[in-house]
């Protein structure tokens, strides 16, 4: 009877090659599954770019909707409070409407926050303007809006919306 002796050295090299081959195959399969998953979810590079651009545009809207920026961009010399009130509201609505197409790239909650920002700022502008004589100088309204924003920083949604936009954008990356 002959004994067949197999040594560790005889088996080690083929087993190592087999294990490396299996690991390589698994890595390729994992990469292919990951690519397929991203494709099915629509997470290709073009989609990611479009979504990030939407977050950039909505960030710009939120910045521009902040009272300090809105008031500073709007000329108010030689006009009445009523005229400034209408101009500020029209500016907010126009910028919101300009960005409505971006809602398809952000979550429903985020788009609702953008709408709430516009609506709340319109409401505040109307409420502050109602405390002043409509034919008074527009500078009075601009001062009151800036005072309101500085006294009530929580009441201005811009900073909250900006934080939420940043959080959602980071999820994409």
Q: List pLDDT tens digits, range 53-108.
A: 999 999 999 999 999 999 999 888 889 999 999 999 999 999 999 999 999 999 99
* Phi and psi at residue 137, to the nearest 5°: -70, 140
Q: Is residue 1 part of a domain?
A: no
Measured CA to CA, the distance from residue 40 to residue 62 in angstroms comes to 32
Looking at the structure, tell me whether residues 54 and 139 fall in a common domain.
yes
Looking at the structure, tell me whether residues 103 and 51 fall in a common domain.
yes
How many structural domains are present in the chain?
Answer: 2
For the segment 134-146, the average pLDDT, to the nearest whole number, is 95
Q: Is residue 168 part of a domain?
A: yes
Percent over 70 (pLDDT), the chain: 87
Of 32 and 132, more confident: 132
Q: Residue 38: pLDDT band by 50, 70, 90 thresholds?
A: low
Contact (CB, 8 A) for 52 and 169: yes
Looking at the structure, tell me whether residues 20 and 104 fall in a common domain.
no
Looking at the structure, tell me whether residues 36 and 51 fall in a common domain.
no
The closest alpha carbon to 121, from 37, 61, 76, 48, belongs to 61
Residue 132 has a pLDDT of: 96
Looking at the structure, tell me whether residues 22 and 85 fall in a common domain.
no
> Is the per-residue pLDDT at 14 higher than 90?
no
Contact (CB, 8 A) for 63 and 162: yes
Q: Is residue 2 part of a domain?
A: no
- pLDDT of 110-132, one tens digit each? 999 999 999 999 999 999 999 99
The closest alpha carbon to 131, from 123, 121, 141, belongs to 141
For the chain, percent helix, then strand, then coil, each to nearest 5?
Answer: 80, 0, 15
Q: Calculate Rg over the CA atoms of the chain.
A: 30
DSSP-H helix ranges across the chain: 8-41, 45-65, 67-73, 81-98, 108-130, 138-151, 158-172
Domain span at residue 104 reads 44-172
The 10 Å Cβ neighbour count of residue 54 is 22
């Amino acid at each position: 009877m002959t004994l067949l002796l197999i040594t560790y050295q005889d088996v080690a090299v083929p087993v190592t090659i087999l294990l490396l081959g299996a690991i390589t195959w698994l890595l390729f399969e994992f990469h292919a599954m990951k690519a397929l998953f991203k494709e099915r979810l629509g997470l290709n590079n073009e989609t990611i770019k479009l979504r990030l651009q939407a977050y950039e545009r909505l960030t710009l809207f939120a910045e521009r909707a902040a009272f300090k920026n809105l008031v500073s961009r709007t000329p108010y010399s030689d006009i009445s409070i009523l005229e400034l009130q209408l101009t500020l509201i029209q500016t907010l609505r126009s910028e919101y409407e300009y960005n409505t197409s971006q809602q398809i790239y952000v979550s429903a909650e985020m788009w609702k926050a953008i709408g709430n920002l516009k609506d709340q700022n319109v409401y505040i502008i109307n409420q502050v303007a109602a405390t002043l004589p409509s034919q008074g100088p527009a500078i009075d309204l601009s001062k009151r809006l800036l005072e309101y924003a500085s006294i009530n920083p929580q009441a201005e949604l811009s900073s909250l919306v900006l934080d939420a936009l940043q959080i959602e954008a980071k999820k994409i990356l």
